[in-house]
Amino acid sequence: DTAVSQTPKYLVTQMGNDKSIKCEQNLGHDTMYWYKQDSKKFLKIMFSYNNKELIINETVPNRFSPKSPDKAHLNLHINSLELGDSAVYFCASSQEQGGQGTGELFFGEGSRLTVL
């Protein structure tokens, strides 16, 4: 039983296309995240949602739009894909409990996006 699952695992597409990555967690956590890992393995937070409310929006282009239909799901939609969007996108979740959580994140396996 995968705790944090993301689909698809691999995504190859042309510049200018629109694509989505889906994420689901079955841990009962109240907070979910999207992180981007670039070609040099650097990890940077993109978005964070707590109980479906956007908490962190880290200077990400407007072409990226997260959507959280419920606490267990956080999807990422990307419009007008650019070459620089090629990266591995990780979904993660944690239990924050209104500030009482200890902050360890549980990560999905990643979605490797390649823009040609």
4 in contact with other proteins (CB under 8 A): yes
3-state SS class at 98: helix
Q: Is 90 in the site for other proteins (CB under 8 A)?
A: yes
Q: Which stretch binds other proteins (CB under 8 A): 17-25, 45-53, 67-75, 79-87?
A: 45-53
* 39 sits near other proteins (criterion: CB under 8 A): no
Contact pick of 50, 85, 87, 113 for other proteins (by CB under 8 A): 50
Residue recorded with tokens 């009482």: 100
**CA–CA distance, 87 with 29 (Å, rounded to integer):** 26
How far apart are CB 79 and other proteins at their closest, in Å?
Answer: 25
Among 56, 67, 72, 114, binds other proteins (CB under 8 A): 56
Question: Tokens 């964070």 — which residue?
Answer: 48
Find the helix or strand (DSSP H, E) in which 70 lies: strand 64-70
The four Cα atoms 69, 9, 40, 107 give a dihedral, to 10 degrees, of 50
- Helix (H) / strand (E) containing 47: strand 43-50
Q: Does 55 bind other proteins (CB under 8 A)?
A: yes
Residues at the contact surface with other proteins, assessed by CB under 8 A: 4, 31, 33, 40-45, 48, 50, 55-56, 90, 92, 94, 96, 98-110
